[in-house]
């Protein structure tokens, strides 16, 4: 009696074990292999505005949401030292200008004219003395004195010309140098007015009037007013399968239950060492009516799609190469594409085979 009771318990236990195995058959369906990526929405040409100088914000000329054009002033920064340097440079440029020193040049021109008149006069006197000497009139000493006077006046005339040209060259050099210094000072002063580098919209102003700014921290964020793109992070193990032009299906947290389409436009060729991922840019094919920068995205980049293939649930696979048949025997199979739920069976199973879900 006890033996029969034990047999009954074992039979019930076996029956219970058998019932614990879930069963299924392969099905013929379509399958898509994809790579998961997450990221954010960005505007085209989005950039952080930095100051190239240190100073105090005197005036913020725009507000968040304003449309700006390239070159429009955004913020003015005050720095008295820079203003004083520019004023000094302007004074120096005015002082060194050639026009401001024209009197000095005119004075040397007069000296040149006087020296030339003296030289011409000495040349006439010399010629007369030579004519007299040819007629045996006068002394040798008189002739030599006239020749010496002519040489001196010629030397003085040439020296006057050299002094004039030298002064003119120095004045031109000083004028050009002071103008360059003025341009440098003006350029530095212009840096205290921060301007937009592109046409777009002001999305964020990160500083307030009266705050100190430096060259390390951004002041504002500007981007395209209507053209958006996606910046996705793809794991290093998947990046080799991602190509430009591949289709992307995506969801946004701000549009629950809706699926949108995009395409890969650019793959940045360097890996982020911290996250061990690559940045992939994508453009919308279908997009929400309203978008904002930094919205969260979850996306699947479509690697390839197959239609009407033999599929089984992925959790029925053992080590990605075996399945448990209805008779509890393991069978080797060859798999193809896989998604998050199903796997393609290339060989090892038929449509009518029954397989069991392996116990965990």
Q: How many domains does the chain have?
A: 3
Residue in 207, 190, 196 with CA at minimum distance from that of residue 57: 207
Report if residue 337 sits inside a domain: no
* Among candidate residues 168, 191, 214, the one where a domain is terminated: 191
Q: In terms of domains, do 212 and 291 share one?
A: no
**Token pair of 253 as six digits:** 């947290």
Q: In terms of domains, do 141 and 289 share one?
A: no
Q: In terms of domains, do 215 and 160 share one?
A: no
Q: Identify the band that residue 180 occupies on the pLDDT scale cut at 50, 70 and 90.
A: confident
Q: In terms of domains, do 107 and 184 share one?
A: yes
**Which pLDDT value is given to residue 100?**
63
Q: Which residues contact 250 (CB under 8 A, 6 or more apart)?
A: 230, 259, 260, 261, 262, 297, 298, 299, 300
Q: In terms of domains, do 284 and 208 share one?
A: no
**Which pLDDT value is given to residue 151?**
92
What percent of the chain stands above pLDDT 90? 29
Check whether 10 has a pLDDT greater than 70.
no
Residue in 16, 25, 27, 30 with CA at minimum distance from that of residue 323: 25
Identify the weakest region by mean pLDDT among 13-17, 197-201, 219-223, 341-345. Answer: 13-17
Report if residue 119 sits inside a domain: yes
What's the pTM? Answer: 0.56
Report if residue 73 sits inside a domain: yes
Q: Residues 287-342: pLDDT tens digits?
A: 888 888 889 999 999 998 888 889 989 888 988 889 889 888 889 999 888 877 88
Higher-confidence residue: 138 or 254? 254
Q: Residues 30-89: pLDDT tens digits?
A: 888 889 999 999 988 888 999 888 888 888 999 998 999 999 999 888 766 666 566 666
Q: Identify the band that residue 19 occupies on the pLDDT scale cut at 50, 70 and 90.
A: low
Q: In terms of domains, do 230 and 180 share one?
A: no
Q: What CATH number corresponds to the domain at position 215?
A: 2.40.50.100
* Among candidate residues 258, 273, 297, the one where a domain is terminated: 297
Q: In terms of domains, do 105 and 57 share one?
A: no
Distance CA 280, CA 272 (A): 12
Q: In terms of domains, do 150 and 102 share one?
A: yes
Rg over CA atoms, the chain = 45
Report if residue 130 sits inside a domain: yes
Q: In terms of domains, do 233 and 102 share one?
A: no
* Among candidate residues 143, 165, 191, the one where a domain is terminated: 191
Check whether 11 has a pLDDT greater than 60.
no
Q: In terms of domains, do 87 and 177 share one?
A: yes
Report if residue 115 sits inside a domain: yes
Report if residue 137 sits inside a domain: yes
* Cβ atoms < 10 Å from Cβ of 109: 14
Beta-carbon-side half-sphere exposure of residue 191 (alpha carbons within 13 Å) = 18
Q: Residues 138-167: pLDDT tens digits?
A: 888 888 898 898 899 899 989 989 988 888
Report if residue 17 sits inside a domain: no
User: 267-298: buried (b, 16+ CB within 10 Å) or exposed (e) per residue?
Assistant: beeeeeeeeebbbbbbbbeebeeebebebebe
Q: In terms of domains, do 41 and 55 share one?
A: no
Domain residues for the domain of 98 are 80-191
**Token pair of 249 as six digits:** 């299906």
Q: Residues 214-253: pLDDT tens digits?
A: 889 999 999 888 889 999 999 999 999 999 999 999 999 8
Q: In terms of domains, do 151 and 132 share one?
A: yes
Report if residue 2 sits inside a domain: no
Asked if residues 279 and 314 have their Cβ atoms less than 8 Å apart, the reply is no
| C-alpha 117, offset from chain centre | 68
């Amino acid at each position: 009696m006890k033996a029969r009771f034990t047999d009954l318990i074992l039979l019930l236990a076996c029956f219970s074990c058998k019932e614990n195995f879930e069963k299924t058959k392969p099905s013929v369906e379509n399958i898509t292999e994809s790579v998961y990526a997450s990221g954010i929405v960005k505007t085209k040409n989005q950039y952080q505005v930095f100051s190239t100088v240190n100073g105090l914000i005197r005036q913020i000329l725009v507000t968040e949401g304003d449309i700006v054009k390239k070159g429009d002033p955004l913020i003015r920064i005050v720095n008295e030292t820079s203003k004083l340097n520019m004023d000094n440079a302007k004074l120096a440029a005015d002082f060194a200008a050639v026009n401001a020193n024209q009197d000095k040049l005119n004075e040397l021109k007069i000296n040149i004219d006087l020296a030339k008149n003296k030289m011409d006069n000495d040349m006439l006197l010399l010629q007369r003395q030579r004519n007299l000497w040819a007629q045996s009139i006068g002394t040798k000493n008189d002739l030599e004195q006239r020749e010496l006077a002519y040489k001196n006046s010629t030397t003085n005339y040439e020296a006057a010309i050299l002094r004039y040209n030298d002064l003119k060259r120095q004045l031109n050099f000083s004028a050009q140098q002071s103008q360059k210094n003025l341009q440098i000072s003006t350029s530095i002063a212009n840096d205290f007015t921060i301007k937009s580098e592109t046409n777009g919209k002001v999305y964020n102003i990160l500083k307030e009037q009266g705050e100190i700014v430096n060259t390390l921290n951004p002041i504002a964020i500007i981007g395209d007013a209507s053209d958006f793109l996606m910046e996705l992070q793809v794991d290093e193990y998947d990046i080799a399968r991602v190509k430009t032009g591949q289709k992307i299906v995506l969801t946004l947290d701000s549009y629950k239950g809706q699926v949108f389409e995009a395409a890969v436009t650019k793959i940045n060729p360097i890996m982020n060492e911290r996250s061990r991922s690559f940045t992939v840019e994508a453009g919308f094919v279908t997009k929400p009516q309203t978008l904002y920068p930094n919205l969260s995205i979850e996306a699947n980049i479509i690697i390839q799609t197959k239609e009407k293939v033999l599929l089984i649930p992925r959790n029925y696979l053992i080590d990605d190469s075996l399945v448990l048949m209805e008779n509890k025997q393991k069978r080797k199979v060859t798999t193809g594409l896989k998604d998050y739920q199903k796997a393609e069976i290339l060989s090892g199973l038929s449509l009518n085979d029954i397989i069991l879900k392996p116990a965990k």
